[in-house]
Structure 1
């Protein structure tokens, strides 16, 4: 027996908007141009995150699949990468810092606005 209940689409969007507003109020959201990683190296990603002062659980919202970014971050347990299309409230609330790439922000407004 499944007790799963479907949530209306408008309610999901409202919850996502509320979570984004809460993170914005906490100054936990930072919009960046792009990561611009030259190679698949975890050290480069750690250096970029250090320069952005992203400490704790970091959620990176990417506009599309970026193999260099994914492979560089897979060895970091506190960094999670999610696509702008598949954004969800649980990942947003778990993160201490949310980094949004500029093209991902445009995609988010297109999908969720």
Structure 2
């Protein structure tokens, strides 16, 4: 697949051929869904917890005698039915992550890249560099390129001026190529790859 390379100023800067084994697959929604579910589960904190009856600091004495009152046979004020008692079946701290094979995760990334390529949502730029860290200038450049909601992937190291100028722009994410992931690709309308990122991805999946 041939695609025109753009500069950040909106000018043409040549062409690049995207590998069909990475950008030309027929996207499968089931693979993408499983990968997104894995990512969201892995980042879930799981620190929410309520106190059960064993963790409530309250007297352990029997409330009243067993027989003769005409009331129910209660034995503890920590029971869930009492005000201030423990919560029954409440949330506990746990790890929400689950296993997903490494080869499957690599395949899911290829399908996400192919989905963007198929929908015409990939833009390749020659380099991601800025003379100074001015957000206003970067916003104008993105507007000229038609980027309002985009994930921007640079090389292994990002230009500091460009990274600083773009990090406060709404709906724009900037990541090095090591941080590319399925969830961020799918949640943004456009995927912007630098030439270095394309080369790194092709090297990674070689």
- Following superposition, the deviation at residue 107 of structure 1 comes to 0.9
Distance 2:129 2:197 in 1: 14
Conservation of the 8 A alpha-carbon contact between 1:37 and 1:44: no
Q: Which residue of 2 aligns with 1:94?
A: 187
TM-superposition CA deviations, 1:21-53 (whole Å, max 9, x none): 111111010101013311100112112211211
Q: Match for 2:174 among 81, 85, 104?
A: 81
TM-superposition CA deviations, 1:60-94 (whole Å, max 9, x none): 00102221111101221211011111211000000
Q: Which residue of 1 aligns with 2:36?
A: none
Conservation of the 8 A alpha-carbon contact between 1:41 and 1:72: yes
Q: What is the SS of the residue equivalent to 2:191?
A: strand
- Following superposition, the deviation at residue 3 of structure 1 comes to 4.1
Which ranges of structure 1 fall in alignment gaps of 5 or more residues? none
Distance 1:46 1:80 in 2: 13
Across the aligned residues of Structure 1 and Structure 2, the Cα RMSD in angstroms comes to: 1.3
- Larger RCO: 1 or 2 (CA < 8 Å, sep 6+): 1
TM superposition score normalised by structure 1: 0.91
Larger radius of gyration: 2
Q: Which residue of 2 aligns with 1:107?
A: 200
Q: Match for 2:152 among 60, 63, 72?
A: 60
Q: Which runs of 4+ in 1 moved over 4 A?
A: none
Count of matched residue positions in the alignment of Structure 1 and Structure 2: 112
TM superposition score normalised by structure 2: 0.52
Quick check: which one's helix share is greater?
A: 1
